[in-house]
Structure 1
């Protein structure tokens, strides 16, 4: 059964409670006022990482979003991203935790980037544990990945918080393997 088939059969949940809680840890639980995300070069962000790139509504710094609106748009955004992500995961052995970890990653860096990642390549090749490791580490096992931002001078800077998120995603990805 394909990953899409598992979703349709209810074996894999979209916007699972554990994923939403996990995103809350990393995306700012209770951010009802739109803010300029410093790590995203001032990109207006609200709720659990909703931006103009993902929201069907305008996201304007200073605007207030009710908890109900956040919940509604978060569900929409998370599920839409997960359905796109499911199309690039060909390994039928992927379980909920691995899917949730990849969903968190793609929620943060974008579905196209996650789908093109070494992590998804390894997972699709049947090397799930190695793919989980690749969410946080380069092939050498020592160099952090997906934990850098480009500063105003155009230089990449390591962000400890992003690496902590990548490590947590890798741990979640491996749970239950």
Structure 2
């Protein structure tokens, strides 16, 4: 067996373990009042959302407001979608990450999109091998400002940029991602 095939096996095992860790983490942040009922997410400008945050961005299954998904469908769709998001995040990483980094990078991508996570300063740090700095950058910029805790209001500022509104719940989620990411790093 070549070193390359061993790395692929390790990657598959890492993906499976991180999928479970991500699904567990999402339970605290995407529970919904009625997880099987598809609703229009106000923070995402009415984007149809179901279960633990499933949207058209993470699944090919139609997500239609008002439909009801069974617990079994939620679980199957969530695990498939988490695996897809994790694979996208892992493709951006130049080094095999610790489990906690991949799980929290996936949570971040689940909430913000894999492209945004891949283009983030957290990913820059992880690709340089600085796992702790990358974890910190999930919630706070190097200058100390909260990041990834804002949503667009739908209005445009005079300079042409979108107006943003701070959301404490997003700041709390980012802080929890940072904490979980750091706690899982090798000592």
TM-score > 0.5, shorter chain as reference: yes
Report the CA distance between 1:15 and its aligned residue: 5.1
Match of 2:150 among 148, 165, 169: 148
Match of 1:157 among 156, 165, 171: 165
Match of 1:133 among 101, 126, 136: 136
Match of 1:51 in 2: 55
Per the alignment, do residues 5 and 119 of structure 1 end up closer, same or farther by CA in structure 2, a change over 3 Å counting? Answer: farther
Alpha-carbon displacement from aligned partner over 1:18-50 (angstroms, at most 9, x marks no partner): 321111111125510000101100000001111
**TM-score (norm. length: structure 2):** 0.86
> Are the equivalent residues in 2 in contact too, given 1:136–1:146 (CA < 8 A)?
yes
> Are the equivalent residues in 1 in contact too, given 2:39–2:49 (CA < 8 A)?
yes
Per the alignment, do residues 148 and 4 of structure 1 end up closer, same or farther by CA in structure 2, a change over 3 Å counting? Answer: farther
Report the CA distance between 1:63 and its aligned residue: 0.4
CA RMSD, Structure 1 to Structure 2 (Å): 1.8
Q: For this pair of structures, how many residues does the alignment match?
A: 174
Which runs of 5 or more residues in structure 1 are unaligned? none
Report the CA distance between 1:6 and its aligned residue: 2.4
Which runs of 5 or more residues in structure 2 are unaligned? 157-162
> Are the equivalent residues in 2 in contact too, given 1:148–1:157 (CA < 8 A)?
yes
Report the CA distance between 1:13 and its aligned residue: 2.6
Match of 1:170 among 157, 178, 183: 178
> Rg larger in 1 or in 2?
2
Alpha-carbon distance between aligned partners in 2 of 1:133 and 1:15, rounded to the nearest angstrom: 19
